[in-house]
């Protein structure tokens, strides 16, 4: 069992960051600290579930200018390797967005455990990475007077995971 928040973050008008989440997803998670090679993560996100708390912007993000959800309904990450890096881990895999698949490495931090109200153990992680939207063929932009563009190229991805370890 897992709960996950999959956040996106991009620059708007080159002066502020815009944050959003995807509200519909499925995934499987198996993280093994002692034998990282036994780890696997697979996430599929419904691209149409993007929510930036602005209906007009969300509609534009779903359009052919950005996610083109009619043609590319899913965003996927298929983790293939967990690598120990000092205090944390890197999760290496393939990220598919807008019909393009590229290698992507998430920095994975956390691993702290706690008990929930039913006495079950929980473990939390934060995975973060940055992509170039142009690398995935998402190039729409508009230039304002003075040269400022509407949308920056860099997009930050953050997965906040809360998992129930197997007994």
pLDDT for 19-65, tens place per residue? 888 999 998 888 777 788 888 889 999 999 999 899 999 999 999 99
Percentage of residues in the chain having pLDDT higher than 90: 40
The CATH number that applies at residue 13 is 2.40.128.110
More confident residue, 66 or 161: 66
The total of structural domains in the chain comes to 1
pTM for the model stands at: 0.85
Our CA dihedral for 3, 18, 82, 26, rounded to 10 degrees, sits at 40
How much is the pLDDT for 146?
A: 72
pLDDT digits (tens, 9 = 90+) for 114-125: 888 888 888 888
Side by side, which strands form the sheet with 151-163? 25-30, 40-46, 74-85, 88-97, 100-115, 121-132, 151-163, 2-12, 16-22, 50-51
Q: What is the separation of C-alpha 27 from the centre of its chain, rounded to a whole number of angstroms?
A: 12
* CA gap 105, 44 in Å, rounded: 16
Domain hosting residue 49, numbered range: 2-163
């Amino acid at each position: 069992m897992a709960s996950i928040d999959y956040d996106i973050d991009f620059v708007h008008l080159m002066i502020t960051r815009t944050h959003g989440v995807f509200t519909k997803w499925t995934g499987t998670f198996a993280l093994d600290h002692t034998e990282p090679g036994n780890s696997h993560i697979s996430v599929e996100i419904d691209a149409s579930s993007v929510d930036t708390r602005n209906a007009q912007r969300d509609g534009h993000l779903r359009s052919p200018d950005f996610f083109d959800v009619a043609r590319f309904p899913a965003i996927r990450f298929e983790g293939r390797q967990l690598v120990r890096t000092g205090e944390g881990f890197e999760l290496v895999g393939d990220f598919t967005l807008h019909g393009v698949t590229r290698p992507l490495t998430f920095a994975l931090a956390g691993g702290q455990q706690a008990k929930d109200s039913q006495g079950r153990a929980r473990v939390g992680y934060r995975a973060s990475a940055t992509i170039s939207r142009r690398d995935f063929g998402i190039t729409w932009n508009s230039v304002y007077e003075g040269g400022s563009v509407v949308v920056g190229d860099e997009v930050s991805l953050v997965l906040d995971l809360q998992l129930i370890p197997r007994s």
